[in-house]
Amino acid sequence: MGLAAESREATGQAGPEAFGPGGREFFPITVQLSPVPGGGAWANVPDSQAKAALRAALDQILAHGVTGLEYPFHLSPELNQYVLDFARSRGMFLTYNRTFAKGGVENFGRNLPPPISVYAPGYPDAVKKNLAPVLAEAARLPNLYNMFCYQDEPFHAGEQSFDFSENARREFRKRFGYEIPTDLEVARQSPKQWLDLINFQSDEFPAGWRQVYKLVKQALPDAKIIMTHDSHSAMGAGVGSNSKVAVDDVFHWGADFADTFVFDIYPYMMFDYRYGEMGKLRKPRMSQLHFAFEQLRNLTYTYGKNMGFWFGTYNRRWFKKFMGPELQAEAWAETEVCYTAVGQGADFLISGYNIPEDQAHWDTLGRGLEVIQKAGAALLKCPKVKAKACFLFPRTQYIQLQQEYWNVAVAYELFRQAFGELDCLHEEQVKGADLNGYEALVLFDIQLLPEEVAKRIAEFVNAGGTVIADCVPSLDTYKKPLDVMENVFGVADAQAGQVKRSGVWVASLTDPHWFVHPEPGDPEDAVSGEIITGSALGEDYEFRAVRPRGCRVTTGEVLLAGGKDAPALVHKKSGKGQAFLFGFCMQDTYFAAWQTGDAASRAALLRLLRAITKHAGVVSNISSSNPEIEACLRANQQDGYVLVINHEAEQPGTSVRIENPGFGVKEIFNLTENRKLDFQKTGDAIAFDIEAPRERPQLLRLLRKS
């Protein structure tokens, strides 16, 4: 089966629709109506002057590849109607953002228990009261495409938001067969009670959203209902940060309560919520964006939903405290993250927040968005191709150990750069030995797995799969010893230590500070490490391994020696498959190489991972020879697009290889440069050389042989 068979059509997913003047289709991109650089003002001026300024700004917005406007416009009634009429005449769609205007309608939030439980008989009536004015406003909007009506970035901001009402108690008793524990410290002493309690409290949100969604869709069946998922708390970074407790995650919540899920993070413009010193040095720069995006794409593709992205803009409306000469000079920032989002499968873009106020930022973004519009709605019909390798998200560990699972994105990014692609797979998806069709499974910093999940992974290896890990899960659901994975790797008594990092740093130019103060613990400057030197799998290596993890090798084979009791790489064959275990913490090792400017260690780690996947016979669908230049493939059985984005590379050149586009490629047309691109064909694979400067990511179309 070709790669393109992994499309939405093949999985029963429907692509999003986009419309325009005369039926023209386009890629949906929304901005807020705000002044353009060098443009006129429409506030506190006569209406004739305001209309001229608005018209000039709207013409620029359209010329910059934007196809939608966020509503409300925050104008006088007359000017508001003027803009609505303009949008209608030019086929622009509207995104109604009720959330930012007046908050969500679901009658619960982050900080307090709901005033009426989602399990109460009167809950739907309370929601209907909130919905009435929202639906009335939405019904009168022309070309309404999508709508935000839920709370922004939902998560439980701590134990104080838990619902212990009588209705909640009754529902807990019905579901679990015993009384809900209300003393959290007592509940923590029982792994079963703690897991039940946390899952129940987290499940409160989707239980409410499902009821809201039904009511909204009854009134607005054609509008896409949007939920914004936050940049960290619901993706492994809640504990010790905004939500205090590890409780929520996006895949566990599901997706049967919205049509589009929009990811909210602002790399370059703000901070990415990494813990400890990792938050001060955001290298590699795209790690958290990629890690969270993969989780959101896993959610949306699994449930057949659309995926969107809030992209940060150089504008003081949101980022005043972070703006300075360095950020201003990065005029490519908005374009880079937009192309990253589209390359990773986004179907919708929305600025967050306002139009860039700097001319270079605005024009660079406009050139990039105009190229995306050359592909237009055809991109929506080409989903991101499913990767050959996946990265496991361990929800049960996150809850039971109450440890962040967010900094691990640094190790995730290392593997993605080395291999070329890496999906996320949620623990709850591990149902059989086929592992959802993946060929390789990556386990970084996973100490705890449900026994059934561990057994399925062992079956996956025996059936021919490959597991690559830096830690051996040795605890089960209720924190009891688990030996299944030791057998997979051929080791015993495996350690799992890592550098303790806590606290969240805000890199504000005006007031840099700890948003969350670090906890007492291992000082980050006292990091243990050792130099690994040796040969394995046909390559020579020398790198500094940080936080060695000792083990006793039983049935495994040491491929790369390390220090005493801590081999750097162990390999074991089982059945038709195999497992590889690193004897050190990959996230700490890779980050230390960035922190100390150790480019040689970074290169060695990349070579080691490439050698492992090559030895295992796992070949990426798409790969880039330059690890700091990303190449993404979106395709169906008739059409394909490749996006090439420079993230960190000083040299803009790379060689891109596509193993099997899924159809015969007659021609590659570079939409960015408006010219054909030469390529080489070897069997089913194609390869080409390309340059991708920071300010000009490339969008290519693969043209099918007739």
Segment 484-492 shows an average pLDDT of 97
Residues 700/684, Cβ–Cβ less than 8 Å: no
Which regions of the chain carry the CATH code 3.20.20.80? 3-157+205-381
What does the DSSP 8-state code read for residue 91? Answer: T
Residue 566: band (very low, low, confident or very high) from pLDDT cuts 50, 70, 90: confident
Distance CA 177, CA 171 (A): 10
Segment 222-230 shows an average pLDDT of 95
Domain 389-616: CATH superfamily, name plus number: Class I glutamine amidotransferase (GATase) domain (3.40.50.880)
Q: Which DSSP string do the residues of 63-89 spell out, in sequence order?
A: HTT--EEEE-----HHHHHHHHHHHHH
Structure-derived torsion over alpha carbons of residues 317, 318, 320, 325, reported in degrees to the nearest 10: -100
The one-letter amino acid at 577: G
Residue 581: Cβ-neighbour burial (10 angstroms; 0-12, 13-18, 19+): buried
Structure-derived torsion over alpha carbons of residues 402, 504, 391, 585, reported in degrees to the nearest 10: -80
Whole-angstrom CA distances from 568 to 356, 533, 536, 544, 549 are 48, 10, 11, 11, 9
Q: What is the pLDDT of residue 271?
A: 82
Tell me the chain's radius of gyration from C-alpha atoms.
25
Residue 16: band (very low, low, confident or very high) from pLDDT cuts 50, 70, 90: very low
pLDDT digits (tens, 9 = 90+) for 119-148: 999 999 999 999 999 999 999 998 999 999
Whether omega before 72 lies within 30 degrees of 0, making that bond cis, reads yes
* Residue of 97 and 230 predicted with greater confidence: 97
Percent of the chain with pLDDT over 90: 89
Q: What is the pLDDT of residue 497?
A: 87
DSSP three-state, residue 680:
strand
Nearest Cα residue to 435 out of 385, 389, 484, 483:
389
User: What is the b/e burial string over 632-652, where b = at least 16 CB atoms within 10 angstroms of the residue's CB?
Assistant: bbbbbbebbbbbbbbbbbeeb
pLDDT digits (tens, 9 = 90+) for 505-537: 998 998 999 999 998 866 776 677 899 999 999
pLDDT at 8 over 60: no
Residues 9/665, Cβ–Cβ less than 8 Å: no
**Half-sphere exposure (CA, 13 Å, Cβ side) for 656?**
32
Distance CA 601, CA 594 (A): 9
Percent of the chain with pLDDT over 70: 95
Residues 123/211, Cβ–Cβ less than 8 Å: yes
Q: Which two tokens stand for residue 641?
A: 């697009």
Distance CA 94, CA 146 (A): 7
Q: What is the pLDDT of residue 318?
A: 85
Residues 25/18, Cβ–Cβ less than 8 Å: yes
Distance CA 406, CA 238 (A): 9
Q: What is the pLDDT of residue 231?
A: 79
Adjacent-strand bridge partners of 427: none
pLDDT digits (tens, 9 = 90+) for 147-197: 999 999 999 999 999 999 999 999 999 999 999 999 999 999 999 999 999
Residue 469: band (very low, low, confident or very high) from pLDDT cuts 50, 70, 90: very high
Nearest Cα residue to 338 out of 326, 356, 321, 320:
356
Residue 100: band (very low, low, confident or very high) from pLDDT cuts 50, 70, 90: confident
Q: Which long-range contacts (CB under 8 A, 24 or more apart) does 595-599 make?
A: 595/277, 595/281, 595/283, 596/544, 598/543, 598/544
Q: What is the pLDDT of residue 23?
A: 46
Q: Which long-range contacts (CB under 8 A, 24 or more apart) does 117-126 make?
A: 117/163, 117/165, 117/167, 117/168, 118/163, 118/204, 118/207, 118/208, 118/211, 119/167, 119/168, 119/170, 119/171, 119/207, 120/165, 120/167, 123/208, 123/211, 124/211, 124/215
Segment 382-398 shows an average pLDDT of 98
Residue 706: band (very low, low, confident or very high) from pLDDT cuts 50, 70, 90: confident
Residue 89: Cβ-neighbour burial (10 angstroms; 0-12, 13-18, 19+): exposed
Strand-pair category, 653-658 with 640-646: unpaired
Q: What is the pLDDT of residue 528?
A: 74
Distance CA 51, CA 557 (A): 74
Residue 491: band (very low, low, confident or very high) from pLDDT cuts 50, 70, 90: very high
* Orientation angle between helical segments 287-303 and 409-419, nearest 10 degrees: 80
What does the DSSP 8-state code read for residue 429? Answer: G
Residues 633/622, Cβ–Cβ less than 8 Å: yes
Q: What is the pLDDT of residue 522?
A: 64
Structure-derived torsion over alpha carbons of residues 118, 123, 124, 129, reported in degrees to the nearest 10: -130
Q: What is the pLDDT of residue 7?
A: 33
pLDDT at 30 over 80: yes
Neighbouring C-beta atoms of residue 339, cutoff 10 Å: 29
Q: Which DSSP string do the residues of 370-382 spell out, in sequence order?
A: HHHHHHGGGGGGS
Adjacent-strand bridge partners of 151: none
Residue 477: band (very low, low, confident or very high) from pLDDT cuts 50, 70, 90: very high
CATH of domain 622-704: 2.60.40
Segment 36-65 shows an average pLDDT of 96
Pick among 1.10.3720.10, 3.20.20.80, 3.30.365.10, 3.40.50.2300: CATH of 3-157+205-381 = 3.20.20.80
Neighbouring C-beta atoms of residue 270, cutoff 10 Å: 17
Which regions of the chain carry the CATH code 2.60.40? 622-704
Distance CA 23, CA 13 (A): 23
pLDDT at 26 over 60: yes
Distance CA 311, CA 597 (A): 29
Question: Phi/psi class of residue 485: alpha, beta or left (left: φ > 0; alpha: ψ in -120 to 50)?
Answer: alpha
Nearest Cα residue to 414 out of 290, 563, 242:
290
Q: Which two tokens stand for residue 157?
A: 């901001």
pLDDT at 490 over 70: yes
pLDDT digits (tens, 9 = 90+) for 380-389: 999 999 999 9
Q: Which DSSP string do the residues of 101-119 spell out, in sequence order?
A: HH--SSS--SSS--SS-TT
Residues 314/678, Cβ–Cβ less than 8 Å: no
Q: What are phi and psi of 509, to 5 degrees?
A: -70, -30
Residue 431: Cβ-neighbour burial (10 angstroms; 0-12, 13-18, 19+): exposed
Residue 266: band (very low, low, confident or very high) from pLDDT cuts 50, 70, 90: low
Segment 651-664 shows an average pLDDT of 95
Average pLDDT, the chain: 93
Residue 445: band (very low, low, confident or very high) from pLDDT cuts 50, 70, 90: very high
E strands, 320-388, where?
348-351
Which regions of the chain carry the CATH code 3.40.50.880? 389-616
Residues 378/639, Cβ–Cβ less than 8 Å: yes
Whole-angstrom CA distances from 152 to 109, 116, 227 are 9, 19, 8
Distance CA 311, CA 266 (A): 6
